[in-house]
Amino acid sequence: MSTETGDDSRTRETGHGEDDGRAAGARRAARRDAAVRAAVAQGLLGPDHPLVALLDVTGIRESAAELREAFAAVTPSGTPVLHAFAVKATPLVPVLRLLHTEGIGAEVASPGELALARAAGVPPERTVLDSPAKTPAELREALALGIAVNADNPQELARIDALMAESPARPAGLRSPLGIRVNPQVGGGTIEALSTATATSKFGVALRDEGAREWVVRAYLDRPWLTRLHTHTGSQGIALPLMARGVAETYALAEEINRRAGRQQVDTVDIGGGLPVDFTSDTAGPTYTRYARLLKETVPGLFDGRYGLVTEFGRSLLAKHGTVVARVEYAKSAGGRAVAVTHAGVQVAARTVYTPAAWPLRIAAYDAAGRPKAGPAVMQDVAGPACFAGDLLAREIPLPLLEQNDYVAALDTGAYAFAHHYGYNSLPRPAVHGFTAHHVNRADGTDHVSGTDRTNRTGGPGPGVAFALVRPAQTAEEIVAESGGAHLDALIP
């Protein structure tokens, strides 16, 4: 097993690959800058629209391609590989649809997420159901549709047994690939709340608990229709070698099951997702290529063609491609520190506001026209609109001094941020727009070939930056309706 450390793997990625990563990051930043400028010019941002979320369609497509190519490079031709996007990361139907067109399926963990995936046109055979609390109705629906299911625990497996017994056509007519999720208990990372492979994690069968491993093996031997094995060690704050170790433990279990069964019963290993994201720069890293290579070095038998693979990446596919842009409503000073009061806070970045040390965000400054703001750096706070003192996107951050009517952008918020609205103060959900920046390669929004300004200021089709509405802004009427407005007198006798 590889003993590669994080530092070792970073050293190995230097050179041409690192240069490519920096260049891709620069292109991503240029597209973002062009989109902010165009959003102001086209009226998506302004006094009456002080908050908007933007998704970089080109960037999403590039991440999907990199994921596919990274695992294709380490698996023999013809190896079945399903990359299933973790819907929880960005639960927006047009995003799921885009990823589906890019060859990415869906990993769902609730009836709502399954409904989103189906609405996006993701077929059952490219959908995986994971959840630690599946109801009988959820399991019945999944089996009827032919969706893959990973049982979380012995009681859930007993429910599946009962459902299998309900239909005389099963297991012979079973379309759903079925497996068990195991927790290899290899340890946690720097963010305890996201560490899924600790000794006491709520997920899966804890393999190192007394009798657990033998129970799993026996469960497979007693049920020839169990053909998958699932683990999920990765998440933000987890080192790649630890992720690979969790996969290695699961592979070893699959080998043991197959050896004792005397046949290739487990034919697919679902390695989960959880590739960490670098929130400190525009460079995406660690890369799928680096992780796939590490996995092949650590677990070569998993990549020799005998096993199909399923992955469940989420944050790493979308985070870098989302930006929340907010207008500076007021600029003030408190205790000698500059404070920019904006319309983006806890409602679009709850993790950052409540646990800023674990989830810091980069902030970019733009002037009233949406151009990157220049000037000497001044330490200042970027505050949100919610009525509590801690609603801050950033504390004591060096930026050009923000003024009233400027804009701030919270970067890398394409996952677990604006798509997960938190209704504090009944603040409305912002509109989400996808954008495509045609031929834009510079921060000033100019064409990288001709140098001419191609920013589309009309809002219609044409060169420059084109926007597509992904989710409309929430209206006050919708807030009232969701808050029981149709049941006005329900509590009055």
Note the pLDDT of residue 117: 98
Compute φ and ψ for 67, nearest 5 degrees. Answer: -60, -50
Q: Residue 442: pLDDT above 70?
A: no
Instruction: Choose among 274, 334, 321: nearest CA to 417.
Output: 321
Summarize the confidence of residues 136-159 as an average pLDDT.
Answer: 96
Model confidence over 349-384: pLDDT tens digits?
Answer: 999 999 999 889 999 999 999 999 999 999 999 999
Q: Who contacts 352 (Cβ-Cβ below 8 Å, separation ≥6)?
A: 359, 360, 361, 393, 410, 417
Q: Residue 178: pLDDT above 50?
A: yes
Note the pLDDT of residue 237: 64
As a residue count, the chain comes to 493
- For the record, the structure tokens of 61 come out as 């497509």
Question: Residue 113 in 3-state DSSP?
Answer: helix
Q: Residue 285: pLDDT above 80?
A: no
Model confidence over 473-483: pLDDT tens digits?
Answer: 999 999 999 99
Summarize the confidence of residues 188-214 as an average pLDDT.
Answer: 75
Q: List the single range of 46-50, 97-101, 202-206, 404-408 with lowest mean pLDDT.
A: 202-206
Q: List the single range of 1-5, 34-38, 189-193, 299-303 with lowest mean pLDDT.
A: 1-5
Average pLDDT of the residues of the chain: 89
* 8 A C-beta contact, residue 467 and residue 44: yes
| pLDDT interval class at 75 (50, 70, 90) | very high
Note the pLDDT of residue 420: 95
| pLDDT interval class at 191 (50, 70, 90) | low
Q: Which residue has the higher pLDDT, 89 or 459?
A: 89
* 8 A C-beta contact, residue 113 and residue 134: no
* Integer Cα distance of 32 and 440 in angstroms: 10
Rg (CA), the chain: 24
Instruction: Choose among 147, 256, 240: nearest CA to 207.
Output: 256
Q: Who contacts 62 (Cβ-Cβ below 8 Å, separation ≥6)?
A: 24
Tokens 């941002």 found at = 45
Q: Who contacts 321 (Cβ-Cβ below 8 Å, separation ≥6)?
A: 28, 55, 56, 59, 60, 63, 414
Q: Who contacts 236 (Cβ-Cβ below 8 Å, separation ≥6)?
A: 189, 191, 194, 274, 276, 277, 315
Q: In sequence order, what are the beta bridge partners of 468? A: 434
Note the pLDDT of residue 192: 59
Instruction: Choose among 290, 219, 291, 285: nearest CA to 253.
Output: 219
Note the pLDDT of residue 21: 80
Compute φ and ψ for 157, nearest 5 degrees. Answer: -60, -35
* Integer Cα distance of 365 and 360 in angstroms: 16
* 8 A C-beta contact, residue 432 and residue 56: no
Q: Residue 447: pLDDT above 60?
A: no
Note the pLDDT of residue 454: 39
Q: Which residue has the higher pLDDT, 161 or 444?
A: 161
Compute φ and ψ for 132, nearest 5 degrees. Answer: -85, 0
* Integer Cα distance of 437 and 232 in angstroms: 35
Tokens 């169990």 found at = 226
Model confidence over 312-349: pLDDT tens digits?
Answer: 999 999 999 999 999 999 999 999 999 999 999 999 99
Note the pLDDT of residue 168: 67
Note the pLDDT of residue 194: 56
CA-based torsion, 334, 340, 342, 346: positive or negative: negative
Note the pLDDT of residue 166: 85
Note the pLDDT of residue 95: 98
Q: Residue 108: pLDDT above 90?
A: yes
Compute φ and ψ for 444, nearest 5 degrees. Answer: -90, 5
Q: Which H or E run contains 149?
A: strand 148-151
Model confidence over 28-72: pLDDT tens digits?
Answer: 999 999 999 999 999 999 999 999 999 999 999 999 999 999 999
Instruction: Choose among 312, 235, 244: nearest CA to 277.
Output: 235
Note the pLDDT of residue 453: 37
Compute φ and ψ for 334, nearest 5 degrees. Answer: -145, 120
Note the pLDDT of residue 230: 95
Question: Residue 26 in 3-state DSSP?
Answer: helix
Question: Residue 370 in 3-state DSSP?
Answer: coil
Note the pLDDT of residue 218: 97
Note the pLDDT of residue 73: 97
Q: Residue 125: pLDDT above 90?
A: yes
Note the pLDDT of residue 203: 75
